[in-house]
Amino acid sequence: MYQICNHGFIEVVCGPMFAGKTEELLRRIKRLEIAKQKFLVFKPDVDNRYGDSEIVSHNKNSKNAISIKDSNDIYNYITDDLQVVVIDEAQFFDNKIIKVIDNLADKGLRVIVGGLDRNFRGEPFGPMPQILAIAEFVTKLTAICSVSGLPATRTQRLINGKPANYHDPIVLIGAKESYEPRSRIHHEVPGKE
């Protein structure tokens, strides 16, 4: 898929919750380790579901990560011998992350980004649309709809077992207790016009 090259590029792994995005990042990280490439893993500090210093898949596989508040903080960790930067949950960063990612690729780094491409409303999530637009490679994963078993491309937020209202806050950190994967036809957002 990727030719061996001396220039940077951006690859994105996206999809709904429970599609295996972090698991795919962990698989790619394992390949970096086998290839003995120097890499760093970053995550937004707002995502503390499984702790502050790891990215963790829903099936509990993990890798150490640097938790950051501001996208520009990534620059503080970049060294001349670094080859790859991995960023998980990119949708939770502000729009500065777009320029950071682009700059890192321009400097010759491979940048691997994971994140939700849509919020619970079914709309593009945070900086992800722009990141997808500047990426050289995109892997869009699907989950399995919890209602129908069809491919799920949406994330359903549930409040007390019922679909969240369109006007609820965009960010609500959670896992299986608050979210489930849904197909387009079974995704419900009361209050959406």
**157-164 LR contacts (CB < 8 Å, sep 24+):** 157/120, 163/188, 163/189, 163/190, 164/120, 164/189, 164/190
Q: What is the per-residue DSSP string for 105-145?
A: HHTT-EEEEEEESB-TTSSB-TTHHHHHHH-SEEEE--EE-
Q: Which tokens go with 186?
A: 């079974």
Q: How far apart are the first and last CA of the chain?
A: 40
H/E stretch holding 102 reads helix 96-106
Contact 129, 95 (CB under 8 A): no
Q: Residue 77 phi/psi, 5° resolution? A: -105, -5
Amino acid code (one letter) for 106: D
DSSP state of 185: G
Report, as residue numbers or ranges, the catalytic residues: 89
